[in-house]
Amino acid sequence: MFILKNALISIARNKGRNILIGIIILVIACASTIALAINNTASDLIDSYQSTYDKELTITFNRENMIKDFDFSNREKMEDMKNKFDNVSSYTISDVEKFGNSDYIESYYYTYNVSLNGNNIDKAESEVSNNSFNMPGPPGSDKGMRSSKTSYDFTLNGYSSLDAMSEFIEGTYKMVEITDGAWDKAFDGNYIFINEELASYNNIKINDTVKFEDESGNIYKFTVIGIYKENESNSSGPSGLFANSANTIITNADALIAITKAHSSVNGFVDPTFIINDYADKDKIQAEFYDKGLDESYAVETNEEVATAGLSSIKNVQSFATTFLIITLVIGGVVLFVINAINIRERKYEIGVLRTIGISKSKLTIQFVSELLIVGFVALLAGAGIGAAMSKDVSNSLLASEINSTKESSEQIKGNFGGPGGFGPMEGNSPAKDFAEKGRPKVEAYESIDAVVNIGVLLELLGIGLTLILISSLASMISIQRFTPLAILKERS
């Protein structure tokens, strides 16, 4: 108890020095509070933002890998290259099921795609069609790589589940007319959604039956349960040119799988999407897929880049806050250490006397550390209060400055290339709701951060502050251990 009393007496006695120490800790605490608040709030926002996206992993064709050793100057070898592409072993639905059975994968869905010609329906002529499957591409075919050069009228996209219907979820397509209970039927039988333009072109209405046929003349009947339209912005401009268009028919995967099973003349290919737990598992998943039989001509890709694209400004602010916090702590820690070292030198005589009258090294250490802790704790509280009051304004000001800088950079790009100026900040303080109103994934950024000092920030600050104080007290601790009372008193004499 008398140690604490001595500590309080010493604090009162050394007002000037303790006020200086207090101001330094206050500044550190204030800066740290702001930095921690920004950091934590930014982390929460990033988590919240990312939680609006599934962590998706898809299988893509690894062209780079395929052509890496290929000599393009040798024309004779071009045929080899073509054969190499044609002979890529594809993956099937049962492969996808095997791939999906992994500890790294939460769930998966897929689209199963089939191309057919119309029987009682004509393709919409305005379309820029690319319905033939004569490109070696990423999707897997149930019957090997697509070698047919036949051009079909329609692409039927069969979804394994509602989750797979990304065009609707992302807003690329919008339902304009739909029968009651259509969403339930959509996965149970030969039901389809067709494009508004196609419906109009063929005068097709809801509940009409549409027939398709394959090369061998087999007829497949489907009932129209919904009419969708493509978003305007999607169908215009370069991005709309090659996107799914009027002749794309939406149905369920089971209906198409049944067709390809029954008729070997119909090719289908599967395009899976895996929902993974962590983007960091990408390489492990790829290795596991290869082990499970995926041809190494394929690779896996995640949507991490898209999912984090709108966070660049906030990540920059977070990164700045973290760097600022580290610099503040390092400089503050060094300054505190030096002040303490000077303090100890000035109080050497006092230490000598106290040791002489029998106060142990440990008690003296406790006294000196207590002095710093008391001053530090008061300064920490004051600094936290000031930091809390300032954090919102400072964080928003930093973010605004960062956004302006991004905008300027975007404008510069736009000016130089005439294209869209990158991902600008959108409205509100919430993650994107309409993910892709304009035909490609639109990334909505944050324009305010509202860094809040909560109990978590205060606890972090307390932890950091106490650690800093204890580290800077090392000067006292070491000195007290090294000083011998007799030497100190002799020096004084």
Nearer Cβ to other proteins (203/493): 493
In contact, 302 and 279? CB cutoff 8 Å: yes
In contact, 398 and 38? CB cutoff 8 Å: yes
Nearer Cβ to other proteins (358/419): 358
In contact, 379 and 23? CB cutoff 8 Å: yes
Strand boundaries in 21-104, DSSP class E = 56-61
| Smallest distance, other proteins to C-beta of residue 36, A | 38
**CA 7, CA 366: separation in Å to the nearest integer?**
9
Residues 6+ apart with CB under 8 A from 261: none
| Smallest distance, other proteins to C-beta of residue 341, A | 21
| Smallest distance, other proteins to C-beta of residue 450, A | 49
User: Following CA atoms 66, 69, 74, 78 in sequence, which dihedral angle do they give, to the nearest 10 degrees?
Assistant: -20
| Smallest distance, other proteins to C-beta of residue 316, A | 52
| Smallest distance, other proteins to C-beta of residue 493, A | 5
CA distances from 268 to 115, 157, 330 (A): 8, 10, 62
Give me the residue label for tokens 């070696």. Answer: 136
Nearer Cβ to other proteins (30/488): 488
DSSP 134-154: -S--SSEEBTBS-------SE
Nearer Cβ to other proteins (21/294): 21
Check residue 194 and report its DSSP letter: E
| Smallest distance, other proteins to C-beta of residue 482, A | 12
Nearer Cβ to other proteins (29/374): 374
Nearer Cβ to other proteins (185/361): 361
Nearer Cβ to other proteins (363/407): 363
Residues that bind other proteins (CB under 8 A): 2, 5-6, 9, 13, 350, 352-361, 484-486, 489-490, 492-493
| Smallest distance, other proteins to C-beta of residue 472, A | 23
Cα end-to-end span (Å), the chain: 31
